[in-house]
């Protein structure tokens, strides 16, 4: 099957609508780029007011453009866009890049224009990239619909960007270093084609070895995750999220929300899907370039070969911080190194050949280290010096890369004297970094990719049939209220067979006594009043009531205390519950993220929850491995396993609750958030029980 995205990168003929003869116009730049960078198909500028442009015939209208033409680039004001799309449709063009701005990003009228445009696109079965973007590049076909000056050399990185300017900046940044790319895709407003569409196209293009993404917001979280989960096992996906704080600052309505803002959801979901998240633009390409050119290390043992101890120390720190370690060099290898290196050289790891090193020193040390079974990664480092032949050293590293299958990452710690050597190394697929500390995060990314490849294939936890039309039965969503306390939430949990502590709501002292008789003493009583959210802060809880006499007194005291301190309060009743035995307190809950949909959260519960910030998140659907990770990545999870001699707790029962909340989230879209805190976890085999819970519904 041919992808509908293909013409954006492998067009046979490109029409440029609104191609200007003025070199200061963007459209002129597009035509120039198509001519300059080796595109061999037809280039058809369209402009009723010109005859010739850069030696090309200019067509007065699109209808007159000859075959083959399968891609149109539009650089015309937004008010002409609908006519232009109509013309594209009639000419049979199925792919359009709209570079022009003035759409959704300027407000309501622009958004309406996009809707109209999409109607035309759907009518003709056209795909659209943009508007408000800088277009696309394919370094192998020469298709270049951008006006960016310069085009990267062909290479392994497929780059998807939601910012056009970042694309321009990246070209300026890397063009002299000869880091290679397969594609650039600037997606602009994503009126039609979005980041997942292009990612799925890159999945099947053999020129793409690694996908690098600059993303401000994922369009459809669940669809992205499903695709990423599949693709990340074949091709690493390296991902930079911009606009973290905006998302994070978005007001969230409940306690749970404050622990798990939207960027936290991104971090959790990306990790779950096997995507390698990075912090900076520099890291995005440092990592993508290595993943695209080098193979993953077999294990985590790194050999450093350097002419500068300080630089090696910085590399070692970074390696250690990222979970790799310095390889131990076998004695016979050390002896062999010694035979040809400077007598003052250090032949254990880091191998330090001292300042005035020669290319042959590197050749000797690296070829010996490459042979050592204990070495998985080679990291040669050179700090340029007056008497050192930097280009010769680079050539030695390139030669080594051709004779070994071990992972090779290199460092030239300089700028002024290193540009040519950098170009040589990158052209030969040997990643070279300016700073020794860049090596660690790159190695960590290799490890993530390896771990993802070794994962079991994703299998969604299955849900039993939905228990019943829960919310209708409960008649909760009919009123104005959206936030519900324990009383109502208990019913939802019960419907999913999640154990609540035995108890019920009493409207009178007598009812309280009756409930206490049923559940048995000692009991706990809690006020139920809509206006009182934090019961314990309000003095609305009495613990450990031992008998009926005490209950009678405490009940009355509780009511009068609440009424006195909260004038006009409307008390709905009092929850009377069996005092639960002690166990480990965890928090388990679900909240819907605006991007990724339902997320399950788990962590340390009770009052420590806010202090310790031990909350982990996973997006639904979950696999069993996701559930294990959700628990094991927290302190709470470590405690459950039996910490410092305490007995292991009932982790199976916790997993059961997580599975049920995940099913609940899929079966009840109007439950916006639900939270159990604390869930008491008893010893293995003894189960769990919810001591308090609440939920929020959506309108």
Give the span between the Cα atoms of 79 and 118, in whole angstroms: 15
**Between residue 352 and residue 381, which ones bind a copy of itself under the rule CB under 8 A?**
354-355
Among 40, 245, 475, 480, binds a copy of itself (CB under 8 A): 245
In angstroms, what is the minimal distance from the CB of 201 to a copy of itself?
Answer: 22
Q: How many CB atoms lie within 10 A of CB 461?
A: 18
Q: How many CB atoms lie within 10 A of CB 644?
A: 5
**Residue 407 is encoded by which pair of tokens?**
């992972």
User: Does residue 321 bind a copy of itself (CB under 8 A)?
Assistant: yes
User: Does residue 74 bind a copy of itself (CB under 8 A)?
Assistant: no
Angle between helices 419-427 and 390-403 (to 10 degrees): 10
Among 54, 80, 242, 463, binds a copy of itself (CB under 8 A): 242
In angstroms, what is the minimal distance from the CB of 456 to a copy of itself?
Answer: 29
Whether 363 and 380 have beta carbons less than 8 Å apart is answered as no
Distances (CA, A) of 295 to 117, 156, 409, 421, 558: 45, 13, 11, 22, 68
Q: Residue 619: which of 669, 665, 587 has the closest Cα? A: 665
**CB-nearer residue toward a copy of itself: 357 or 461:** 357
Contact letters for a copy of itself, residues 634-653 (x by CB under 8 A): -x--xx---xxxx-------
In angstroms, what is the minimal distance from the CB of 349 to a copy of itself?
Answer: 12
Say how far residue 191 (Cα) sits from the centre of its chain: 22
Contact letters for a copy of itself, residues 198-237 (x by CB under 8 A): ----------------x-x---------------------
Residue 56's φ and ψ, nearest 5 degrees, are -100, 150
In angstroms, what is the minimal distance from the CB of 326 to a copy of itself?
Answer: 9
Whether 234 and 628 have beta carbons less than 8 Å apart is answered as no
User: Does residue 320 bind a copy of itself (CB under 8 A)?
Assistant: yes
Contact letters for a copy of itself, residues 265-284 (x by CB under 8 A): --------------xxxx--
Give the span between the Cα atoms of 525 and 141, in whole angstroms: 73
Structural element, H or E, at residue 158: strand 154-161
Pairing of strands 541-545, 523-529: antiparallel
In angstroms, what is the minimal distance from the CB of 420 to a copy of itself?
Answer: 13
Among 50, 313, 569, 580, binds a copy of itself (CB under 8 A): 313
In angstroms, what is the minimal distance from the CB of 32 to a copy of itself?
Answer: 10
Give the span between the Cα atoms of 96 and 122, in whole angstroms: 12
**CB-nearer residue toward a copy of itself: 58 or 174:** 174
**Between residue 281 and residue 310, which ones bind a copy of itself under the rule CB under 8 A?**
281-282, 307-310
* DSSP symbols for 37-71: TT--SEEEEE-TT-SEETTEE-BSSGGGPPSP--E
**CB-nearer residue toward a copy of itself: 85 or 316:** 316
Based on the number of CB atoms within 10 Å of its own CB, is 32 exposed (0-12), middle (13-18) or buried (19 or more)? middle
**Residue 179 is encoded by which pair of tokens?**
């880091």
Whether 197 and 225 have beta carbons less than 8 Å apart is answered as no
User: Does residue 22 bind a copy of itself (CB under 8 A)?
Assistant: no
User: Does residue 166 bind a copy of itself (CB under 8 A)?
Assistant: yes
In angstroms, what is the minimal distance from the CB of 344 to a copy of itself?
Answer: 6
In angstroms, what is the minimal distance from the CB of 454 to a copy of itself?
Answer: 26
The window from 89-97, 145-153, 651-659, 683-691 that contacts a copy of itself (CB under 8 A) reads 145-153
User: Does residue 699 bind a copy of itself (CB under 8 A)?
Assistant: no
**Between residue 544 and residue 603, which ones bind a copy of itself under the rule CB under 8 A?**
none
Among 20, 418, 665, 690, binds a copy of itself (CB under 8 A): 418
**Between residue 84 and residue 113, which ones bind a copy of itself under the rule CB under 8 A?**
101-102, 106
Among 109, 536, 560, 670, binds a copy of itself (CB under 8 A): 536
**Residue 670 is encoded by which pair of tokens?**
């109007």
The window from 171-179, 443-451, 455-463, 487-495 that contacts a copy of itself (CB under 8 A) reads 171-179
**CB-nearer residue toward a copy of itself: 42 or 188:** 188
Structural element, H or E, at residue 412: strand 410-412
User: Does residue 454 bind a copy of itself (CB under 8 A)?
Assistant: no
CA atoms within 13 A on the CB side of 137: 34
């Amino acid at each position: 099957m041919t992808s509908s995205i293909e013409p954006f990168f492998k067009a046979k003929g490109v029409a440029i609508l609104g191609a200007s003869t003025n070199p200061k116009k963007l459209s002129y730049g597009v035509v120039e780029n198509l001519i300059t960078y080796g595109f061999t198909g037809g280039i058809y500028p369209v402009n009723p007011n010109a005859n010739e442009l850069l030696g090309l015939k200019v067509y007065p209208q699109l209808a007159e453009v000859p075959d083959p033409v399968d891609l149109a680039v539009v650089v015309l004001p937004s008010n002409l866009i609908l006519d232009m799309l109509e013309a594209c449709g009639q000419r049979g063009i199925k792919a359009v890049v709209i570079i022009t701005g003035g759409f959704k990003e300027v407000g309501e009228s622009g958004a309406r224009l996009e809707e109209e445009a999409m109607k035309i696109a759907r009518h003709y079965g056209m795909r659209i990239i943009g508007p408000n973007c800088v277009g696309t590049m394919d370094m192998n076909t020469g298709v270049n619909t951008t006006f960016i000056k310069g085009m990267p050399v062909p290479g392994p990185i497929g780059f998807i960007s939601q910012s056009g300017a970042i694309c321009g900046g990246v070209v300026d940044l890397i063009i002299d270093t000869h880091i290679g790319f397969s594609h650039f895709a600037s997606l602009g407003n994503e009126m039609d084609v979005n980041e997942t569409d292009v990612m799925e196209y890159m999945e099947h293009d053999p020129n793409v070895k690694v996908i690098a993404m600059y993303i401000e917001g994922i369009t459809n979280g669940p669809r992205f995750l499903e695709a990423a989960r599949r693709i990340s096992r074949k091709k690493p996906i390296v991902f930079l999220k911009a606009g973290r704080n905006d998302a994070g600052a978005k007001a969230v309505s409940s306690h749970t929300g404050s622990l798990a803002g939207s960027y936290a959801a991104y971090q959790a979901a990306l990790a779950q899907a096997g995507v390698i998240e990075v912090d900076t633009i520099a890291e995005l390409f440092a990592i993508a370039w290595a993943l695209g050119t080098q193979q993953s290390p077999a294990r985590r043992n790194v050999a450093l070969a350097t002419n500068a101890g300080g630089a090696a120390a910085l590399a070692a720190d970074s390696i250690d911080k990222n979970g790799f370690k310095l390889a131990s060099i076998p004695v016979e290898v050390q002896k062999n190194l010694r035979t040809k290196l400077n007598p003052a050289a250090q032949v254990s790891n880091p191998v330090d050949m001292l300042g005035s090193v020669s290319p042959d020193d590197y050749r000797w040390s690296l070829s010996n280290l490459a042979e050592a079974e204990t070495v998985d990664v080679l990291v040669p480092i050179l700090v340029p010096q007056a008497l050192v032949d930097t280009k010769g050293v680079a050539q030695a590293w390139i030669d080594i890369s051709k004779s070994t299958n071990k992972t090779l990452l290199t460092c030239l710690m300089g700028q002024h004297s290193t540009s040519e050597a950098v170009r040589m190394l990158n052209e030969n697929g040997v990643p070279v970094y300016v700073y020794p500390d860049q090596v660690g995060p790159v190695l960590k990314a290799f490890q993530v990719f390896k771990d993802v490849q070794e994962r079991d294939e994703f299998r969604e936890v299955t849900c039993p049939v939905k228990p019943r039309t829960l919310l209708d039965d409960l008649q909760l969503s009919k009123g104005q209220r959206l936030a519900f306390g324990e009383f109502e939430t208990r019913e939802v949990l019960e419907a999913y067979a999640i154990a609540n502590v035995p108890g019920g709501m009493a409207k009178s002292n007598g009812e309280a006594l009756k409930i206490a008789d049923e559940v048995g003493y000692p009991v706990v009583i809690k006020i139920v009043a809509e206006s009182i959210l934090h019961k314990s802060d309000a003095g609305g809880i009495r613990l450990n009531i031992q008998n009926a006499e005490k209950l009678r007194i405490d009940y009355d005291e509780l009511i009068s205390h609440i009424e006195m301190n909260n004038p006009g309060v409307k008390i709905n009743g009092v929850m009377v519950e069996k005092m639960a035995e002690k166990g480990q307190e965890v928090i388990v809950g679900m909240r819907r993220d605006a991007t990724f949909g339902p997320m399950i959260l788990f962590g340390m519960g009770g009052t420590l929850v806010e202090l310790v910030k031990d909350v982990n998140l996973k997006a639904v659907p979950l696999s069993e491995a996701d559930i294990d990770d959700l628990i094991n990545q927290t302190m709470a999870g470590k405690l459950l396993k039996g910490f410092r001699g305490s007995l292991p707790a009932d982790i199976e029962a916790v997993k059961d609750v997580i599975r049920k909340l995940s099913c609940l989230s899929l079966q009840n879209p109007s439950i916006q958030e639900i939270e159990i805190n604390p869930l008491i976890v008893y010893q293995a085999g003894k189960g769990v029980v919810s001591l308090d819970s609440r939920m929020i519904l959506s309108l």
